[in-house]
């Protein structure tokens, strides 16, 4: 029994979720058990709040959420505790550089995610999931990916300028995709001199572009401090590069079995894969 851990932060895709984007019964039960013992379980994801809670609701779980890589922190009731958007002019500049490199991207805002090409939004998600889980059933993945559009998690918009020009929208993230590694690298280079931006990756073929202060580690630190806890009493679980900032800050860092060697080398522990409910195993070890 390790009472040192008071807060557990877990990534979603490739970590808490299996290949069909669901939370396993074992993971759900471990989270409920931790919560029952007074441990704060917070989800830290690159997803929008809407896409994160869609999956949590489906599993019957309620947690605070660090969303859009740390651009927004929400309480378990859904109240916005903090927001770190990208300035409109900077977002516009980044968007135009991505467009110049012919890289597809989505725009994440305080009112959900937007795409100018819904078909592409689905097909890219399918490719990403299939590349991470080659043994998965493609039809099932297509069905799960299609829910992003069907259930209004990603909205169609004619032109992203409508978001940049409207005061009601805060821009949290540009999520760029390409399976052409050279093209993606060119896009990365094109953004390199925009110093106020942080550029990470949450998987093969993508770039996550946020404000440089919108990172999971920074958000996690501010969350635990606001709740009278310490990073030393925190465990973080992740599988990819956008998890590095929180894995480095947490007192106990756990890599998923499906994480790359570079991520594993940063961590104190390695748990099972996301298909084997590795999160549950990591949680049960500390509560």
Burial class (CB in 10 A: 0-12, 13-18, 19+), 85: buried
Residue 207 falls inside a structural domain = yes
Nearest residue to 170 via CA among 63, 88, 50, 236: 88
The CATH number of residue 77's host domain is 3.40.50.1000
Give CA separation, 179 vs 40, 125, 152, 205, 259, in Å.
Answer: 37, 12, 25, 5, 19
Q: Is 103 a residue whose pLDDT tops 90?
A: yes
Domain boundary among 164, 180, 211: 211
Residue 12 falls inside a structural domain = yes
Could you tell me if 176 and 224 lie in one domain?
Answer: no
Helix, strand or coil, per DSSP, at residue 52: helix
pLDDT: is 204 or 103 the higher one? 103
Could you tell me if 195 and 236 lie in one domain?
Answer: no
Residue 92 falls inside a structural domain = yes
Arithmetic mean of pLDDT, 179-201: 94
Could you tell me if 44 and 125 lie in one domain?
Answer: no
Read off the pLDDT band of 3 (50, 70, 90). Answer: low
Q: pLDDT by residue (tens digit) across 133-168?
A: 778 889 988 888 888 888 888 999 999 999 999 999
Residue 1 falls inside a structural domain = no
Could you tell me if 92 and 173 lie in one domain?
Answer: yes
Residue 155 falls inside a structural domain = yes
Could you tell me if 92 and 177 lie in one domain?
Answer: yes
Burial class (CB in 10 A: 0-12, 13-18, 19+), 44: buried
Q: Is 96 a residue whose pLDDT tops 70?
A: yes
- Residues paired with residue 108 on neighbouring β-strands, in sequence order: 113, 173
Q: Using the structure block, give the residue that is written with the tokens 């990073």.
A: 231
Q: Is 1 a residue whose pLDDT tops 70?
A: no
What is the domain extent for residue 62?
7-84+215-286
Domain boundary among 175, 195, 211: 211
Cβ atoms of 13 and 256 within 8 Å: the answer is no
Rounded-to-integer distance, Cα 176 and Cα 107, Å: 9
**Residue 71 pLDDT:** 97
Arithmetic mean of pLDDT, 94-114: 96
Could you tell me if 244 and 195 lie in one domain?
Answer: no
CB 56: neighbour CB atoms within 10 A?
19
User: Per the structure block, which two tokens stand in for 173?
Assistant: 């993230």
Element (H, E) at 57: helix 49-59
Highest mean pLDDT (candidates 69-78, 137-146, 177-186): 69-78
Arithmetic mean of pLDDT, 193-200: 95
Residue 206 falls inside a structural domain = yes
Nearest residue to 113 via CA among 148, 146, 85: 148
The CATH number of residue 134's host domain is 3.30.1240.10
Could you tell me if 97 and 165 lie in one domain?
Answer: yes
Rounded-to-integer distance, Cα 225 and Cα 218, Å: 11
Could you tell me if 80 and 138 lie in one domain?
Answer: no
Q: pLDDT by residue (tens digit) across 220-273?
A: 999 999 999 999 999 999 999 999 999 999 999 999 999 999 999 999 999 999
Read off the pLDDT band of 128 (50, 70, 90). Answer: confident
Calculate what percentage of the chain has a pLDDT beyond 90.
Answer: 83
- The active-site residue, picked from 2, 11, 117, 137, is 11
Could you tell me if 207 and 100 lie in one domain?
Answer: yes
pLDDT: is 128 or 80 the higher one? 80
Could you tell me if 100 and 53 lie in one domain?
Answer: no
Residue 2 falls inside a structural domain = no
Domain boundary among 145, 180, 211: 211
Residue 53 falls inside a structural domain = yes
11 is catalytic: yes
Could you tell me if 202 and 60 lie in one domain?
Answer: no
Could you tell me if 99 and 189 lie in one domain?
Answer: yes
**Residue 232 pLDDT:** 96
Q: How many domains does the chain have?
A: 2
């Amino acid at each position: 029994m390790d009472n040192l851990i008071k807060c557990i932060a877990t990534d979603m895709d490739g970590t808490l979720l299996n290949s069909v984007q669901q939370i396993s019964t074992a993971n759900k039960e471990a989270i409920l058990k931790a919560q029952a013992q007074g441990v704060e379980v917070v989800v830290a994801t690159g997803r929008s709040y809407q896409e994160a809670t869609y999956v949590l609701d489906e599993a019957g779980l309620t947690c605070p959420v660090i969303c859009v890589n740390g651009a927004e922190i929400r309480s378990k009731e859904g109240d916005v505790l903090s927001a770190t958007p990208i300035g409109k002019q900077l977002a516009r500049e980044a968007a135009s550089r991505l467009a110049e490199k012919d890289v597809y991207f989505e725009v994440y805002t305080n009112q959900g995610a937007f795409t100018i090409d819904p078909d592409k939004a689905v097909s890219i998600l399918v490719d990403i999931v299939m590349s991470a889980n080659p043994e998965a059933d493609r039809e099932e993945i297509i069905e799960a990916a299609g829910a992003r559009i069907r259930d209004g998690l990603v909205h169609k918009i004619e032109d992203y300028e409508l978001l940049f020009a409207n005061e009601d929208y805060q821009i949290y993230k540009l999520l760029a995709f390409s399976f052409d590694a050279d093209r993606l690298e060119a896009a990365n280079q094109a953004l390199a001199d925009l110093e106020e931006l942080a550029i990470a990756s949450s998987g093969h073929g993508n770039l996550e572009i946020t404000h440089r202060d919108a990172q999971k580690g920074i958000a996690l630190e501010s969350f635990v401090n606001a709740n009278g806890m310490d990073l030393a009493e925190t465990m973080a679980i992740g599988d990819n590069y956008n998890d590095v900032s929180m894995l480095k800050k947490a007192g106990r860092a756990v890599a998923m079995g499906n994480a790359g060697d570079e991520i594993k080398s940063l961590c104190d522990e390695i748990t099972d894969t996301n298909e084997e409910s590795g999160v549950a195993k990591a949680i049960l070890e500390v509560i």
